[in-house]
Chain A
Amino acid sequence: EAGVAQSPRYKIIEKRQSVAFWCNPISGHATLYWYQQILGQGPKLLIQFQNNGVVDDSQLPKDRFSAERLKGVDSTLKIQPAKLEDSAVYLCASSLGSDEQFFGPGTRLTVL
């Protein structure tokens, strides 16, 4: 079965620029997650979708981060404007119900 797809794999931008990441979950997985993993730390959940509805976005910095999953399949995460501290790997994961989460390869963002 195809895994979670993410693009781009790498992105370098300057602070105050905007950036968007894309994720396509495993087919049939209703739940989609975006995590931020700062170097040397574990992944931190930013937002969780159940189909196209938001379940948990309590740790999403809503002044600059936004995410959508309009048709309940793929999702985009946007940062506008980016700050230096946003440099991290952004991971997308999906799950079928409340079982194991499957992770994508991540997008490594560097903000200069």
Chain B
Amino acid sequence: AQSVSQHNHHVILSEAASLELGCNYSYGGTVNLFWYVQYPGQHLQLLLKYFSGDPLVKGIKGFEAEFIKSKFSFNLRKPSVQWSDTAEYFCAVREEAAGNKLTFGGGTRVLVKP
């Protein structure tokens, strides 16, 4: 079965610092990859997704992620964070052979200090 690992459970950083969140998955076949974000008091929403093509994908609010197939990774980055980026971030993977089922990582809580 597919498993998704997010390396950091909690990240604390100051405004303007750079952010990188790791995500690794186990399945070796064709996958679609997602990052979801949950701001305090809000529901999960899509940050960005990768289906095919350019492995560097850009999402909303200045976030980007890079798919490295050889490393089974899909790390999320933002060059300069803002206080409003305080949220919980979830990586999710969908195996194309398994229908539309998403497997989520455990999440990373990010706190940006003003």
Contacts and interface: CB of A to CB of B under 8 A. Distances in A.
B106 to A, nearest CB: 5
Contacts of B99: 48, 55-56, 98
B43 A105 contact: yes
Give the contact-size bracket for chain A. Answer: 20 to 34
A112 to B, nearest CB: 24
B104 interface: yes
A22 B44 CA distance: 18
Interface of B: 4, 6, 9, 34, 36, 42-46, 49, 90, 92, 99-107
30 contacts: A40-B9, A40-B106, A41-B106, A41-B107, A42-B4, A42-B6, A42-B92, A42-B104, A42-B105, A42-B107, A43-B44, A43-B90, A43-B104, A45-B102, A45-B103, A48-B100, A55-B100, A56-B99, A56-B101, A91-B43, A91-B44, A93-B44, A100-B34, A100-B46, A101-B102, A103-B36, A103-B43, A103-B44, A105-B42, A105-B43
